Amino acid sequence: MSAITPQRAKRRLLTALVVVLAALVTATMAFHRSVPNVAGFGSVLDTVAPLLLLAVPVLLVGAVLARTRTAVAAAVVPLVAWALLFGRVWLPKGDPGATELRVAGQNVNAANPDPAATAAAVAATDADVVALVEVGENLAEPVAAAMSAHYDHHVRVSTVELWSRYPIADYAGVDTALGWDRALRAVVDTPDGEVAVYAVHLGSARPGVTATRDRSVRALADTVAADPASRLVVLGDLNTAVTDRVIAPLRAHVRDAQADAGHGPGATWPASLPVIRPDQILYRGLTATTAEVVHTPATDHRAVVAGFRVD
């Protein structure tokens, strides 16, 4: 028997490493929701699962260096798994019908150095209804100066605002288990009928610290489930990715505009290079026609915009 050369041994080692890492990445993508959500770890894993596609180029480099068919085949497996699990967000979709209602949501950022510029950029999306969150008292006046030039109707609860071209028939604060209202529900009287619109900023979440956010998601889910409105839109920063298991109770009662009518994952944060989507447009009783993400200045979140046909 011929002795194993150092070069051959190195290739075997690289092949084994690629196979093990590919199996780990694939299993994490496929079974991320099976990992216990201890200290919010499961939520973090759910959120980053689609980003595991970034491991594929590294695995392919390892396969090239190993120069074995086994390594190449192993490196391709997580790519196939990602395509099956998450690739559908890139498929063409949306309803070709005319857009009758256009909505937008924006986290303005409490530390925004130029809130008027952010507000003006959101107004430039030509949305009929706009939800703005994280609008502190110090930002309210410049935001109002920019928005009032485009919208005649405005309501505010704490740091959450709703601006509308159409009359707002009624509104009230919404309890999201934060100890104070950081959400509102308004009834917007559109030319095609009334639509209940929620402007929402749910509890913050950090790795290992998600309890407040989790409670606020459940509280919003309960409120939306009990809402009698046949047409309903939820706009705002939910601090929750659509892949996070925590959002499931809310998603049971609404659809995701980006998933139904957008192209790609629709990431909004951080604005400079977005990798996750805490900013959502969820709905029911309407038909989504368009969905997009818009890069707005001076804030750390991109805006979300969607169009609907009012059935």
Structure tokens belonging to residue 8? 């051959």
> Looking at residue 233, what is its pLDDT?
98
Backbone angles phi, psi at 278, to 5 degrees: -80, -15
At residue 58 the predicted structure's pLDDT band, cuts being 50, 70 and 90, is very high
Say if CB 151 and CB 130 are below 8 A apart. Answer: yes
- Whether 94 has a pLDDT exceeding 80, the answer reads no
Give 2-22 pLDDT, tens digit per residue: 567 888 888 999 999 999 999
Residues listed for the chain: 311
Average pLDDT over residues 175-185: 96
At residue 138 the predicted structure's pLDDT band, cuts being 50, 70 and 90, is very high
Helix (H, G, I), strand (E, B) or coil at 291: strand
- Cα separation, 260 vs 262, whole angstroms: 6
Domain with CATH 3.60.10.10 in the chain: 101-309
- Cα separation, 211 vs 220, whole angstroms: 14
Return the DSSP state at 186.
E
101-309 placed in CATH 1.10.3720.10: no
CB < 8 Å & 24+ apart, contacts of 210-218: 210/40, 210/43, 210/246, 211/40, 212/177, 212/178, 213/239, 213/240, 213/246, 214/43, 214/246, 215/177, 216/176, 216/177, 216/178, 217/246, 217/247, 217/249, 217/250, 218/177, 218/249
Give 160-178 pLDDT, tens digit per residue: 999 999 999 999 999 999 9
Closest to 70 in 3D by CA, of 27, 19, 17, 20: 19
Structure tokens belonging to residue 113? 């150095």
Say if CB 122 and CB 189 are below 8 A apart. Answer: no
Average pLDDT over residues 142-146: 98
- Cα separation, 85 vs 215, whole angstroms: 28
- Cα separation, 278 vs 115, whole angstroms: 20
Average pLDDT over residues 139-155: 98
How much is the mean pLDDT over the chain?
Answer: 95
Q: Any idea what the Cα angle at residue 84 is, between residues 80 and 89, rounded to 5°?
A: 120
Q: How many CB atoms lie within 10 A of CB 36?
A: 7
Distance of CA 79 to the CA centre of its chain: 23
